[in-house]
Amino acid sequence: MIIIKLLGIVIFSVIFVLLATLIHEGAHALSVLLLTKNKVDIMLGSFQGKLIKSFEMKRINIMIYGFVPLFGGINCSLEGISNISKVIIYLSGPFVSLLSGIMILIVTNITNIEILNYYADYMLIQFAVTILPMKYPKLFFHYYNKRSDGYNAICIIKEYYNINNK
- 10-47 pLDDT, tens digit per residue, is 777 788 888 999 999 999 999 999 999 999 999 988 76
Indicate whether 165 belongs to any domain. no
Query: Can you give the residue range of the structural domain that contains 88?
Result: 2-160
Q: How far apart are CA 24 and CA 96, in angstroms?
A: 6
Indicate whether 7 belongs to any domain. yes
Backbone torsions φ then ψ of 26, nearest 5 degrees: -60, -35
Q: How far apart are CA 109 and CA 50, in angstroms?
A: 41
Closest CA to 123 of 138, 108, 144: 108
Number of domains within the chain: 1
Q: What is the pLDDT of residue 110?
A: 94
Torsion of CA 77, 24, 136, 38, to 10 degrees: 0
Q: What is the pLDDT of residue 128?
A: 97
Low-confidence ranges of the chain (pLDDT < 70): 47, 67-69, 164-166
Indicate whether 59 belongs to any domain. yes
- Helical segments of the chain, H only: 2-35, 83-111, 116-131, 149-160
Indicate whether 60 belongs to any domain. yes
Q: What is the pLDDT of residue 69?
A: 64
Q: What is the pLDDT of residue 115?
A: 82
Q: What is the pLDDT of residue 46?
A: 77
Indicate whether 166 belongs to any domain. no
Q: What is the pLDDT of residue 8?
A: 75
